[in-house]
Amino acid sequence: MDLQLAGREALVVGGSAGIGLATARLLAAEGASVTIASRDAARLQEAAASIGAGAAWFPVDVTADDAEARLTAHYGDGKGLDILVVTVGGSIRGRFDSFGDDAWHDNYNMNVIGPVRTVRALLGSIERGRSPAIVLLGAAGAKMPYVNQVVSNVHKAGLLALVKTLSHELAPKGIRVNAISPGRTLTRLWLDRAERMAAEQGTTPDEVIEEFAAEVPLGRFAEPDEIAQAVVFVASDRASYITGQSISVDGGIGRGLL
Ligand SMILES: NC(=O)c1ccc[n+]([C@@H]2O[C@H](COP(=O)([O-])OP(=O)(O)OC[C@H]3O[C@@H](n4cnc5c(N)ncnc54)[C@H](OP(=O)(O)O)[C@@H]3O)[C@@H](O)[C@H]2O)c1
């Protein structure tokens, strides 16, 4: 299927690693003009080189006070932005009574405030885009709260509420807003976690991954590319009647009907 993305202007915030990098690569392969942004300049430079096709990059920390200024500076020349993908986010594991205010605030800043700031800063550019689409990254845990993940369960559910609300507000302007909600996906986020858990439990990271993979009906973690395929589809005009949705790509781990 031709996704008709040739010449489209796309920005992936969180595009230097994991699902974001896989998305940036797919967008570039489909002919889009891709920019990636995240915190670490060296990692961005390496990621942009791996994408090829003249991929551009700029550093931004979406949890920092200067984030909006950095984002608007990059698109301040009246250029339109057709596709905005924000993958910044993550979960922390632990029981409810193990988290104080700082942990809640930090995770909220990353999962909710970061995407909010990014969309707000770039809205003018998105309004100038061609059939523009915004895609944010939810999580299976937003629809089916995991035990031991209370903080991000709450914040990712908030992000899905943001997607639904924004989709209504921006629909009259022709802007679509959706979320892709991944299940367990083999990225740095999980590889680091598996190492920590293996050290705590006296096992190996591979054994931790196997244990968690066994809970997934398809019996394995997703590759980042399998999530990115869905992100790129909803960002494309092939999904022109899809807005306000959170589409699960979770190997079947979500047990709900919706
Ligand atoms: N992996 C999973 O199993 C899984 C499951 C459910 C949901 N998700 C969601 O999917 C999304 C992507 O996850 P992932 O596994 O691809 O994560 P990842 O591999 O850790 O990649 C995160 C990306 O975001 C950037 N980043 C992190 N904090 C940032 C900040 N404050 N400002 C700007 N950029 C920042 C990172 O680069 P720098 O560190 O250099 O900034 C990196 O490019 C997240 O929202 C996550 O919650 C993932």
CATH number at residue 237: 3.40.50.720
Q: How far is CA 249 from the centre of its chain?
A: 13
Q: What per-residue confidence (pLDDT) applies to 258?
A: 79
- Identify whether residues 110 and 168 lie together within a single domain: yes
In a domain, 3, yes or no: no
Specify whether 198 is located in the same domain as 135: no
Residue 146 lies in a domain: yes
Residue 106: inside a domain, yes or no? yes
Specify if 2 maps to a domain: no
d(CA 84, CA 250): 22
- Cα of 44 vs centre of ligand 1, distance in Å, is 13
How far does the centroid of ligand 1 lie from the alpha carbon of residue 111, in Å? Answer: 9
Long-range Cβ contacts of 211-216 (<8 Å, 24+ apart): 212/184, 213/184, 215/253, 216/183, 216/184, 216/250, 216/251, 216/252, 216/253
Residue numbers in the chain where pLDDT is lower than 50: none
Residue 1 belongs to some domain of the structure: no
C-beta of 254 in contact with ligand 1 (< 6 A):
no
Q: 10 in helix, strand or coil?
A: strand
Q: Collapse the DSSP code of 94 into the 3-class scheme (helix H, G, I; strand E, B; otherwise coil) and give the result.
A: strand
**In angstroms, rounded to a whole number, what is the distance separating the alpha carbons of residues 191 and 209?**
8
Same domain, 155 and 201: no
Claim to verify: residue 99 and residue 24 sit in the same structural domain = yes
**Cβ(188) to ligand 1 under 6 A?**
yes
140 and 240 belong to one structural domain = yes
Note the pLDDT of residue 1. Answer: 87
Looking at the fold, whether 92 and 56 belong to one and the same domain comes out as yes
**What SS3 string covers 159-171?**
HHHHHHHHHHHHH
Query: Whose alpha carbon is nearest atom 11 of ligand 1?
Result: 87
Helices 224-235/18-29 angle, 10° precision? 50
Residue 75 inside a domain? The answer is yes
Say which residue the tokens 């990098």 belong to: 21
Alpha helices in the chain (DSSP H): 18-29, 41-51, 67-74, 101-108, 114-127, 140-143, 150-170, 188-201, 205-213, 224-235
Residue 254 inside a domain? The answer is no
Please tell me whether residues 87 and 205 are part of one structural domain: no
Q: Is 81 within the bounds of a domain?
A: yes
Kind of pairing between the strands at 133-137 and 9-13: unpaired
Q: Are residues 63 and 171 in the same domain?
A: yes
Strand-by-strand arrangement of the 83-86 sheet? 56-59, 33-38, 9-13, 83-86, 133-137, 176-182, 246-249
Tokens read off for 218: 């398809």
Q: Which domain, by its residues, includes 190?
A: 186-221
Residue showing tokens 């590889």: 191
Same domain, 66 and 100: yes
pLDDT of residue 37: 98
Dist. CA 88 → ligand 1 center (Å): 4
**CA–CA separation, 128 vs 81, rounded Å?**
7
Q: Is the CB of 189 under 6 A from ligand 1?
A: yes
Structure confidence at residue 93 (pLDDT): 93
- Regarding whether 151 and 62 lie in a shared domain, the answer is yes
d(CA 193, CA 250): 18
CA distance 248 to 157: 13
Q: How many domains does the chain have?
A: 2
* pLDDT for res 257: 85
Does 215 lie in the same domain as 232? no
Cα dihedral value 151, 154, 159, 161, nearest 10:
-170
Q: Are strands 56-59 and 83-86 parallel, antiparallel or unpaired?
A: unpaired
In this structure, the answer to whether residues 79 and 168 fall within a common structural domain is yes
